[in-house]
Structure 1
């Protein structure tokens, strides 16, 4: 019964990830299935390029308005906060398109890693899976609701006078006259709607990966602590290769491929009646090997998402600062205040959640050493057990970090640093505005 529930939870993780990819597919920022017809693929290719061109046009018009009003700080910051948001969306879209196959393959490997761990249940796996599945769902639907409010605020809550567009921009034609006004509004509405939908899909997929990492870390911790309690029935002594396998796994884990991982896992006995019959060393070694596989997956994850998250950190600093400055400027204008408040809430909550999940990965990985110490190795005192425990703890001392470029690690410390940087920039802009008014 427990195994069926575990499979059900993992299947729900797959479906949730597929939903995020569907978000991107429907707005033209992914790819059709390989079994789709040539005509359909060609039409989707045209659709994809059309959406990207619309986004580029919008960014160019924003940039043109910034340069043409460079001496007006209020206009520059108004355009700047929107520009910073759309730039990070566009950059992440390009990253996701270039590395689409790597992302799909990595997703399969990550869910497969959870599945391999759940083949040796010790109790508590269902609770861990349910906890992080609920977290994924709440965050996804919460950010989707916030994104809907943001689209409405940017397009419809802004007071428009004399046929102006909801977002300031400079076009090579008069947007106050028909049909140019309709064309300009279409460009802005399309870019904002697609951009918000894209960032929800991409960030939800990113945080799904992180939650699956937390699932594996939580289950690994339980497995390490249960090595002794599950070993009431012993097999024959191991063949003496346990220590060699662990050392080799640590030294060469970066070179592991999916084929090697499968070959290693085949050494385990997956028969339900045999799960709890392994010796302490066999169970402990199995958990160490799963830990090494997780290290490989997280390294791949950092390579895929490293650049995108670095741009996200830089963009968040600008968005929070410029949006806060605009809120201070438009005080008393309720419509503009609501627009920028929703925009600020979206920027801060997005940054906070990404950093919090990264911080949890760091924290949970740090608990593995404690779990190994509580594995019951004192009941198996021998020179061999001591060496394996010492080496495993050395391996576990490597803290798992989710990186954003070479400058940032996703953590609450990074979140606070970005808020401080945004406030410093905000104070500078406020001083410049005060001096300009005088």
Structure 2
């Protein structure tokens, strides 16, 4: 039985009718047994039909065979080496025009390549921008500028502008920006802020303040800051970052904040404050609704909002493969020196996802975190790994460990199936 990853790689070939009979039978059998791949196949078929309709007006309708054949030069009469020459016969001199005509078949392909390059350089960039588009500016007020991460040229950002991947946005003291992303996600970026839009599910806030309303879906939404990362599935929250640290205020849902050393899970009405390398401080019962009221006090442009909802908010989102795995490990209040992870080796040689390991006590209070590099899963001779417990926590007497394994897709999309997690005690 083929895996879901293998089936996804064959989707386009199936739509183009390029699969062999055996592959086609295996593909259709998998779809009958896997609802997730069936939904993804329906989305792929829908996108293919939409693309066929959108580019229908640009499709060539006429047959150019006759016009091309009419303008091709006639072929010279072939000279056979077996024909006996007549004594005293001298071949006629070839004119320059005939020589030029004989070289036309050689220069025509070169000329076509040059013309194609010129057309590509002069072609409008709107199609390329649309292909990389991830959202729309629904309101731009005050001093707001944007530019690509590869360059240093910033230009004024206007309402209804398209947001593409890898775009930097900065606001002045009186600047305010509202935008929507595929998902959908709606955001309010306040003054004196610098934000990079990596893609529709990842933002980097270098400085300033942003309020986000993220629609729930299987893919995680990430906000990076200089002091750590923020990961959510679907929630409303505000991020405020500056030289002194980063604060995250949650209106509803759950938000995971983490840095190199520790992490914390925030819920509605709580706030987390953290710096790089420090343990996040969590405050409960904060006035989080004020953040929501401030963000909702500014309304988007009606025309831009309608365009966003018709083109981006309603766009089909392919199901993602984000699958966190949770294990509860009993310790019987014995000191623990390490946590052992067991998994089932897969047949893939590369493309593995790494894994973040979050360890909490039975009350979900964070204890420590670790990271499993993707190269670990390439070695098919091993099926387990020991994650050491920090020395300052080995004496903690907890009755149960709550362990969450979250895939990190920066290195690849191949997930690992963990079968067992156990605690290794300290020998007395």
Q: TM-score range by the shorter chain?
A: under 0.3
Larger radius of gyration: 2
- TM-score (structure 2 length as normaliser): 0.22
Bigger share in helix: 1
Compare the two structures and name the one with the higher strand fraction: 2
